[in-house]
Each structure stands twice: as structure tokens, then as C-alpha cells.
Amino acid sequence: MSTLAINDLHASVLTDGGPREILRGVTLTVTSGSTHAVMGPNGSGKSTLAYVIAGHPKYVVTAGTITLDGVDVLAMTVDERARAGLFLAMQYPVEIPGVSVSNFLRTSATAARGEAPKLRTWMKEMKDAMGVLQMDPAFAERNVNEGFSGGEKKRHEILQLSLLKPKIAILDETDSGLDVDALRVVSEGFNAFREETGAGTLLITHYTRILRYIHPDYVHVFVDGRIVESGGPELASVLESEGYERFVGNAPVAS
């Protein structure tokens, strides 16, 4: 049983014009086995929240805490956070020229597990995981994210998730750029991971359509750098029919 606890988190992005506050007091707890959907309009700070949890150097935390099973996440380096069991499936995965998917996956699995997986069993493990996501085995020979379509990038993120088996998964707009078929395949891949590991999930999305495939236990409306309303899955239906206007109008003004 793992718990990611975020408490009154304030964070700024470092820009050329100086720091600019984006997160204005986020409080949220994600435990194993539960899925939290965080939904909000463009630019509300959803990716910032994901990046700050993962430790992206572009952001600074100005107040608040993040702990994983009571351990201070903010004191860890990016790779320590990942090895502690946090995983961020990115909205915009980065190309890494000259590094093959198979190399990359094996290197990260080695880091996550503390030892290199045996080559034979590893090949099978990778092949099986790719099968679930309906990925061509030739994919493993391509360079990480280089020339990948939007759908391929997202499949590749979920592939990593299923191989690295984190305690807490953060999915940032995994549904964007996916057609209906790809969305179904990627969601099924994720659901298989969740069932197998019982991980906790923070599912960041702008649209409700992914929630037809990945059922959340909780839905949070995220506006202007904080959660303005929380509820059960029914809240997603409200957003579906009414959009964000009501919440945007009610957003507390930043100090």
C-alpha cells in the first residue's frame, strides 16, 4: 500500500522574465488501487503539477510538501523519485536520437529493479508487453520517440509503465492525439497494468472521453493552479455536459 500525499503545493515556472507562480495550493492524496482524474482547462497548470511531482528542473516549489509513503519526494533527484516508484507518462515525450527503444527500456528496467534483467526473459517480457499494446516488435529497434506518431508516443509511454511497474502512475493527457482505436488499446494496456499491480493513478486529462475506458474513483476539477472541486465519477458527467465555465467563473483569485 502506497500513498502519494501532496499538501498545499505552490510552485513557479522559471521563465526568462523571472519565476511565475502556476500552482497555488494543491492538496491531493493518491493511494494504491485508487484512480484520481484531474480535469481542467488548457493552461490551468495540470502538466505543471505532473512535472513538479516528477522533479522537472524548470519548476521551483515555493511552499508545501510532497511525500511518498511518508518520505520527502521534494528532496529526491528526478531519477530517485522514479526509482522510489513514481512514474510520469508525459504529454510530450522527448526524442532521443541514437538511443534505441530496446536499449532505453532495458536501461530503465535495470535502474528500476536494481539489476539488469536476464536477456532471455527480458526479450520475452518486452515482446509480451508490446503485444498487449499492439505494437510491432520492430518498434524496439527505433530510436526513442524519434519520428513516432502521436499514438506511437503514447503507446510507448504506457509500455514503459507496464515494464517499470511504479507504485503511483501519473498520466498526463495520455488520451490526446489518439484516435478511437488507439485510445481503446492504450486504455486496455493501462487497465491491465492497474489490475496487475494495484498501483495508484493520477489521470490528467482535458476531455472526458478517456474516462469511458479508464474509470476513475475520484474526479477533481483543476482551475488556475488548484483543485476547485472534487467528487466521484458523476462530476465527470457534469463537466461533459457543462464544460469548465462554471468552475472557471468561480476560481478563487490568486493572491
Partner 1 sequence: MTSLTAPPMDLAPRLASTAIDDFAMPTGREEAWRFAPVDRLAGLLEPDGGSAAVVADPGPFISVVDFDPEDAGHWRPTDRGAVVAWAGARSAVQVRVPAETLVDEPIVVRLQAQGPRAHAHVDVRIGAHSRATVVVLNEGGSDVSGALVTEIGDGADLTMLSVIDGPRENVQMWHWPARVGRDARFTGSTITLGGSVVRNLPSVTYAGPGGAATLLGAFLADAGQYLEHRILVTHDQPHCTSSVVYKGALSGAGTHTVWVGDVVVRREAVATDTYEMNRNLLLDDGARADSVPNLELETGDVVSAGHASATGRFDDEQLFYLQARGIPEAVARQLVVRGFFVDVLSRVGSSQWRSIVLSRIADRLGMDPDFELDLEAAE
Ligand X SMILES: Nc1ncnc2c1ncn2[C@@H]1O[C@H](COP(=O)(O)OP(=O)(O)OP(=O)(O)O)[C@@H](O)[C@H]1O
The residue ranges that bind partner 1 (CB under 8 A) are 54-57, 77-79, 81-83, 87-88, 90, 93-100, 102-104, 106-108, 110-112, 116, 119, 143-144, 160, 164
Least distance CB 45 / Mg ion (angstroms):
8
- Residue 45 partner contact from Mg ion, ligand X, partner 1, none using kind-dependent CB cut-offs of 5 to 8 Å: ligand X
- Residue 157 partner contact from ligand X, partner 1, Mg ion, none using kind-dependent CB cut-offs of 5 to 8 Å: none
Cβ distance to partner 1 smaller for residue 52 or 236? 52
- Rounded to 5 degrees, φ, ψ at 198 are 65, 30
Cβ distance to Mg ion smaller for residue 56 or 142? 56
Least distance CB 121 / ligand X (angstroms):
38
Least distance CB 205 / ligand X (angstroms):
9
Instruction: Give me 41's grid cell.
Output: 482547462
Instruction: Give me 29's grid cell.
Output: 492524496
The answer to whether residues 139 and 152 touch, using CB atoms and an 8 Å cutoff, is yes
Least distance CB 119 / partner 1 (angstroms):
6
For the chain, the 3-state helix, strand and coil shares in percent, each to the nearest 5, are 40, 30, 30
Of 64, 74, 72, the C-alpha closest to 27 is 64
In sequence order, what E strands does 48-115 have? 59-68, 71-72, 86-89, 96-100
Q: Which of residues 2, 12, 44, 47 is near Mg ion by CB under 5 A? A: 47
Instruction: Give me 123's grid cell.
Output: 526479450
Cross-strand pairs, 219 = 37, 231
| Contact set with ligand X (CB under 6 A) | 13, 15, 20, 22, 40, 42-48, 58, 91, 173, 206
